[in-house]
Chains A and B, each alone.
Chain A
Amino acid sequence: MDDKEIEKYVEDLYKELDGKISKEELRKIFNIWLSYNYSPEKVKEKILQKYKPGRILKIGEIKEEMKNINTVGKILTIKLTEKDGRRTYSGIIGDETGTIPFTTSREMPFKKGDVVRITNGYSGYFKDKLRLYIQQNSGVEKLDNYKIERVQTVPSKYTIDKIEGKSRNIETKMRILYAEERETNGKKRVSGIAGDNTGTIPFTAWNKKLEEGKSYIVKGAYAREFKGKIYLTIDENTEILELNEDVPVNEKIITLQEAIKSGIATGWFEGIFLEVSDDSGLIARCPVCRKILKGTECPEHGKVTPINDVIGKATFDDGTASGRVIFLRNEMESILQKNFEEILKMVVSTPGIPVIKEELEKRILLKPYRILGKLSVKDQNFFNITIFEIKPIGNKELSELKERLMGMV
């Protein structure tokens, strides 16, 4: 740290302390603390605590391991928990500079929106989050005439693997690996899978435009947990910015057995197609509900004119378990490298031959692939895999395997 920088701190401190302490004195104290290997920020804090003990901190100024904290904030959430006869209040308070979670066993009969003054608190980290602790001898008082109009809620930055079921106000960078648009009650809903270099997560976005393959920065999303799986929700208040560069996505391969055991529904798997099922081929669907029909009769919509479609089914095995993969029209078109018209033509020109199954076998049978898929477990012994992305193993993947082996032995 050079003299110029120190001078800036001295200048700040001089102003902050209303000139009560001479710059010369401040410079001397500052250098002493610095020589004890404290960071300049910490030194500034120590000096302020000594010479201006009662000062009110903005919430954004609260740092780790501070004592005698005096601050004023608006209660954003508050809840009371009772356990073994102990009453604990916890919640979040904020002002225009930031927010902080608080915890106390003091009585705090306040509600959301109240502005409170807290004196003699202290701060510290718990579970990776900076928190404000209010002690028995702290002062807590509601301020009726003090208004805080705007609270700066700074989203916390997460990598995808760190998002938990309880995570709120999430900021994350992600690439959309798969997206599907639907309309529910007049609201546009995009759901799919997003990923970064730490993992993947299923998401649902309301009235937002998110396109497959594009990368975004998302601010203010929240997570929820359903049946042990974590989902990311992007609602109308979430801010979304499209990024010009791609967020790198780590294709961390997990085994099917790990996925089944841990309840991870979506991920990259690597394996081989061991069998193509006989019922791969053309199918007829009800034009209304898209159900697969046996004839021209839909159980729900009666006599209909069915629409043609194509489906493929195959057994995918990664050495730890196997599941049934279903290829819908899009995947079939890209695997067979033919559009639907050409597939139809191929069937018509080879009557009596299960040509679709044979073509599918030619392309995928006993060949290694990486797939991004979602497992739906029917029962313990059987599950389907819906495929979002599929790609053959190439030289790149082969060298990755080689490296992995080298690292293991």
Chain B
Amino acid sequence: MAREPAWRIFAFEFNDSMFVPKTGQEKETNYILTRMGAKINRVLISGIIENKNIINENTFITGIVNDRTGTFHISADKNYSPLKVWSYLFSIEPPVRVLLVGKVRSYGESKNLDIRVENITECDSFIEDYWRLSAAINLVERIKIMKLALSEEKDKLLNMGYSEESLNSIFAAIENFKDTKIDAYLKTIKEMFGISQEEKNPEDVILQLIESLDFDGKGARYEDVVENALKEGFERTRVDEIIDSLLERGLIYEPSVNIFKKL
């Protein structure tokens, strides 16, 4: 088994997820599947430890980490967690800003989501900012693939270079959650980073693509334009419409068949 990567993920997506049902094999890895199609075993998170509880006769610690989008439940076990992690959590007085890596597990009758801490350190706001940006970029990447998955065939996406594994998770999420809530997710990110809601004019986007894909001065190939536009979240039919309109308005011309050039 490859070592599980540590997903940088916000609490609001982490908590909007389901446990992947187990198949009954021994030593099976715990996974959750988020609404945006991330299949996760290990996470890297950052935020403020708001409170902690030492329970079970000083053998178990639980805590709450707030990342400004929601909260994570974390835990450490005196007998199973690394000594360093245990003694750190034992000694701190919340609130403390931390960066931590851990594995997901479920606990209790109600199958609550919990992160068993593997390594943890106090961090400054710079590290937290870095983490927030990485988490946001990763999430937007996932949303991008999810948008594509809603309109294109899987084979097409494989050809575009997305991995089989990530696509399987994305399609599983679409099937399980039905409503993908893409717009709500995007809005959350935009608000988080103070990005204005103003949409870019779609014609400008395509025009810019045609210009930037014109590598040799002879024009941009139709397939390249479509390929890149799909990645920007356009649908194929919409791209055709826009190209027609740009041609009509004389902003681009077609020097040869299926080659477009900006005027």
Contacts and interface: CB of A to CB of B under 8 A. Distances in A.
Given A272-B44, A409-B140, A398 B133 contact: yes
B263 interface: no
Interface in B196-216: 216
B214 to A, nearest CB: 14
A274 B123 CA distance: 14
Contacts of A406: 193, 195
Contacts of A401: 130, 133-134, 137
Nearest to A365: B121
Given A261-B163, A322-B3, A381-B3, A366 B130 contact: no
B2 A380 contact: yes
B169 interface: no
A408 to B, nearest CB: 5
B195 A409 contact: yes
Q: How large is the interface on B (under 10, 10 to 19, 20 to 34, 35 or more residues)?
A: 35 or more
Interface string A392-408: 01000010011011101
A402 B133 contact: yes
A368 interface: yes
Contact of B130 (A274, A365, A368, A408): A368
A375 to B, nearest CB: 13
Interface residues of A, number: 29
Contacts of B127: 366-368
Interface stretch (A97-105, A227-235, A313-321): A313-321
A16 B216 CA distance: 33
A406 B44 CA distance: 23
Contacts of B6: 272, 274, 317, 319, 322
Given A322-B3, A322-B5, A366-B99, A405 B121 contact: no
B189 interface: yes
Given A398-B129, A398-B133, A405 B163 contact: no
Interface in B1-17: 1-3, 5-8
Contacts of B121: 365-366
Most chain B CB inside 10 Å of its own CB: which residue of A319, A322, A368, A404: A319
A317 B8 CA distance: 11
A335 B123 CA distance: 19
Interface string B162-198: 0100000000000000000000001001100101000
Interface in B108-123: 118-121, 123
A409 B182 CA distance: 12
Contacts of A321: 2-3, 5
Interface string B129-147: 1100110111011001000
A274 B213 CA distance: 39
A275 B120 CA distance: 10
A319 B138 contact: yes
B122 to A, nearest CB: 9
A275 B119 contact: yes
A380 B2 CA distance: 8
Given A366-B121, A382-B2, A409 B189 contact: yes
Contacts of A275: 118-119
Contacts of B137: 401, 404-405, 408
Contacts of A320: 5
A128 interface: yes
Contact of B119 (A319, A365, A380, A404): A365
Contacts of A366: 99-101, 119-121, 123, 127
A257 interface: yes
B130 A319 contact: no
B119 A257 contact: no
A222 to B, nearest CB: 24
A319 B3 contact: no
Contacts of A368: 127, 130
Nearest to A366: B121
Interface string A317-352: 111111000000000000000000000000000000
A319 B193 contact: no
Contacts of A272: 6, 44, 99
Nearest to B131: A368
A43 B193 CA distance: 57
A312 B193 CA distance: 38
24 contacts: A257-B5, A261-B163, A275-B119, A317-B101, A318-B5, A319-B6, A319-B7, A319-B8, A322-B5, A322-B6, A366-B99, A366-B123, A368-B127, A381-B1, A381-B2, A381-B3, A382-B3, A393-B130, A398-B129, A401-B130, A401-B133, A405-B133, A409-B140, A409-B189
Interface of B: 1-3, 5-8, 44, 99-101, 118-121, 123, 126-127, 129-130, 133-134, 136-138, 140-141, 144, 163, 186, 189-190, 193, 195, 216
Q: Considering the complex of A and B, which 7 residue pairs feature the smallest CB-CB distances, nearest first?
A: A381-B2, A401-B133, A366-B121, A408-B140, A317-B6, A366-B99, A322-B3
Given A321-B3, A322-B3, A405-B195, 17 more contacts: A257-B5, A261-B163, A272-B6, A275-B118, A319-B6, A319-B138, A322-B5, A365-B121, A366-B127, A380-B2, A381-B3, A401-B130, A405-B136, A405-B140, A406-B195, A408-B137, A409-B140
